[in-house]
Amino acid sequence: MRITFWGVRGSIPTPGPETVEIGGNTSCVEVRAGKAILIFDGGTGLRLLGKKLLREMPLQAHIFFSHVHWDHIQGFPFFDPAFVSGNSIHLYGGNNVSRTLEETLAGQMDHPSFPVHLQEMGAKMTFNDLFEGQALEIDAGGGKKARVTTGRGNHPNGVWAYRVEYEGKVVVYATDTEHYAVTDPKLLKLSKGSDVLIYDAQYTPEEYLGTSGAGGPKVGWGHSTFEAAVTLAKAAGAKQLVLFHHDPMQNDASVREKEKRARESFANSIAAYEGLSPEL
Ligand SMILES: [Zn+2]
Ligand SMILES: [Zn+2]
């Protein structure tokens, strides 16, 4: 498998000289499992991934949405392969809020907010509403399958986490989830034995509790700290931890500081940045 990070920021895009090293696009991660194109979230990073995928058409892509907050869907109306007939796009998520995934994605493109309707995009789209613990088998070519298992995190309006297994390797994508006093048993089970654990590390413990940074405590906002990420990585026996969904208030230096502190208790920690592309 190869993982490529196209957007690593939480909440809102943060372009500018202060974030140029980590990147300012919101959540989007590409996982290649054999020939399978798996995409996790459609934040603004999805636009750049779409540009690259134009070289591989006609294509079949599978987009797994953790949830439908803006920072996870806003790149979708700018995903070029979705405008090309002959492409096939499978979309997964929804079913955990009042609207389906299709209704939500169509809603953000309704007039007068966007000039093109979802139905006019061109590619064949198949929407799949998920249920907890579901295991999907995706054709990866050569008679092989990638297996994607769903789990739930803790986030306002709900969130999906995903475990991807292919050829004996495991990647877990768990963003937008808040840790509590004990390690979440569901996420622990989903993350068990992962080679790469991508986890919501939006805050430092001080930012989370409101003892430093702006805006007071962030308890109940649905996000974790790098410390909670390390605790989960250790408990799950993860080989590599990727700190993900950086807070918009954090510039390059503060993300690097967060990474340094995480490494003090879990050496194989890395802060996600745009262009990071590990192979396993
Ligand atoms: Zn988010
Ligand atoms: Zn969210």
| Residue range 202-227, pLDDT digits in tens | 999 999 999 987 789 999 999 999 99
Taking residues 155-182, what's their average pLDDT? 95
* CA max distance for the chain: 54
pLDDT at 193: 98
Ligand nearest to C-alpha 8: 1
pLDDT at 97: 67
Ligand nearest to C-alpha 11: 1
Ligand nearest to C-alpha 68: 2
pLDDT band at 96 (very low <50, low <70, confident <90, very high): low
How much distance in Å is there from the Cα of 61 to the middle of ligand 1?
22
Taking residues 104-109, what's their average pLDDT? 94
Instruction: State the CB neighbour count (10 A cutoff) for residue 167.
Output: 12
How much distance in Å is there from the Cα of 45 to the middle of ligand 1?
13
| Residue range 60-75, pLDDT digits in tens | 999 999 999 999 999 9
User: Token pair 């980590």 is at which residue?
Assistant: 22
Ligand nearest to C-alpha 202: 1
pLDDT at 25: 98
Q: Residue 90 pLDDT > 80, yes or no?
A: yes
Q: What is the DSSP string of 38-49?
A: EEE--STHHHHH
Mean pLDDT, the chain, integer = 96
Closest of 230, 235, 223 to residue 271, by C-alpha = 230
The pair of three-digit structure tokens given for residue 69, joined into one six-digit string = 């907050």
How much distance in Å is there from the Cα of 11 to the middle of ligand 2?
7
Taking residues 270-277, what's their average pLDDT? 98
How much distance in Å is there from the Cα of 223 to the middle of ligand 2?
8
How much distance in Å is there from the Cα of 56 to the middle of ligand 2?
31
pLDDT at 213: 73
pLDDT at 236: 98
